[in-house]
Structure formats: structure tokens, C-alpha cells
Amino acid sequence: MSSTENLNKKTGLRWPQVLLIVLVTILLTVAGTYWALKTYIFVSSFEPVELSQKEENVLQQKLRAIGYDFSFAAPQAKQPTQQPKQQAKLSSELRDEIDQDGFLKPKAYSEEGAERDISFTEREINALLAKNTDLAQKLAIDFSDELVSARMLLPMEEDFPVLGGKTLRLNAGLGMAYQDNKPIIILKGISVMGIPIPNAWLGGIKNIDLVNEFGVDPGFWKSFSDGVEHIQVTDGKIDIRLKE
């Protein structure tokens, strides 16, 4: 006696009903797999962050405090007939630093009253990416307690094997804190298409303090550590204080 006949006797179902259940199961599996691939693996873009007018004003003040003049206004097309002076549009904050002849006013160097605290929210960072780079829909940053996470979409070339023409999804996490008078930077991991990369493939640097491991000898990590007085990453925000 076949397995289908046994199933029919045990469940009271006939083979057309069993076939229908199998077909529905297959269709649901295929639909679920397609949805998962489109939603989590072959994602085409992220939704860019748009700040309110109040948030834009706050971010502009932060950037100007560290010497970076930034505007959220949409860039205008260049007019070839315009004169150089007409093309140079300075913000109201910078006009006071330009003399009547259009030259930058000289000023003696001083660190008195200089800003050493750098603070950005998650929304501000992602809004900067959306407005100032071509990564607007390809990179998203997340701040949570002592963790900075990044999601990146990497379009593959059409002639790339297997994944040609698809979009590769990359995730990474970086632990970030400040303890015992020094910063702590820990690579939590990197995943590709939702699959974590083995620590051995990352050179064994996963889940170790990079500053403590590589900051002893002269180099980037030692210089970075010596120049930072405090780091704090909380939900939706990062604060950094630089040393003198």
C-alpha cells in the first residue's frame, strides 16, 4: 500500500485534496522566499532621512561650530554665463569674515573658547549622508547603547558571477565606549546577505578592543586614543570630546 493511500486512510483526505495542499504549501514557500529576498537581501534602496526645519537649523549650527558650512538647500544648475563673483554665494555667517574687496580677513590664531565637544544624532548623520553624498539610499547608520551599526547596499556589476545585477546587503557593528581613561573600539561583526563572516576571515579582530590591541605602538589607534577625552554612544546619539 502506497504512502498516499495510508495518508488518505489516516486523514480522510483524497489525493486531489492532498495535491492541493502540497501545491498551496509550495506557492506559500515561494512567495515567502521572494518577499524575504526583496525585503532583506536584494534591497534596492533605503529611505533617506529628511529633517524638519528646526532639526536642520540645529545641525547647521553644529557643523559651523567645527568650521563646516553646509546648506540643505537644493543645489542649483550651474550657469556658464555667470561671473565668478556671482557664482560664489556665501552664507550670512561667513560674510562677516570677508572684506569689502572680497578677500578673507586675516585673524590671529587662538584656541580660546574653541569647541571641543562633537555631538550628532542618528537622524543628523543619516540626513548628511542623504544630502551630501551619493550614498543617500545605500548607507544607513544606527546609534544604540555603546554600539554604532551600519547597513550598506552594494550594487553588483552585471557580469559578476551569480549575483550579477543584484544588490549585496552588508551589515556591520562597532562597539564604542570610554573606560579607564581611554576609548574602547570593538568590532562586533560583519555580515553579508545576513550571514555573519567568521572571525578567522576577519583576521581574528572580532570582539577585541582595537585600541587596546593596536594602540600600544605608534600609529593610528594610539594617536586616536591620545586625542580623545570621552566617547559616549546612546540610543540615537553620539557624543565625542577631544583633548587639548
Bridge partners, 169 (sequence order): 153
What are the pLDDT digits (tens) for 53-76? 777 777 777 776 665 665 555 544
Tell me what pLDDT residue 154 has: 78
Tell me what pLDDT residue 111 has: 80
DSSP 78: P
Gap between the Cα atoms of 120 and 122, Å rounded:
7
**For 236, left (φ over 0), alpha (ψ -120 to 50), or beta?**
left
The answer to whether 181 and 170 have CB atoms below 8 angstroms apart is no
Distance between first and last Cα of the chain: 86
Fill in the amino acid letter for 152. M
Tell me what pLDDT residue 142 has: 93
Spans in the chain with pLDDT lower than 50: 7, 34, 41, 75-88
Tell me what pLDDT residue 177 has: 94
The answer to whether 69 and 91 have CB atoms below 8 angstroms apart is yes
Closest CA to 60 of 111, 133, 132, 134: 132
The answer to whether 29 and 21 have CB atoms below 8 angstroms apart is no
The answer to whether 40 and 169 have CB atoms below 8 angstroms apart is yes
Tell me what pLDDT residue 84 has: 47
Tell me what pLDDT residue 22 has: 65
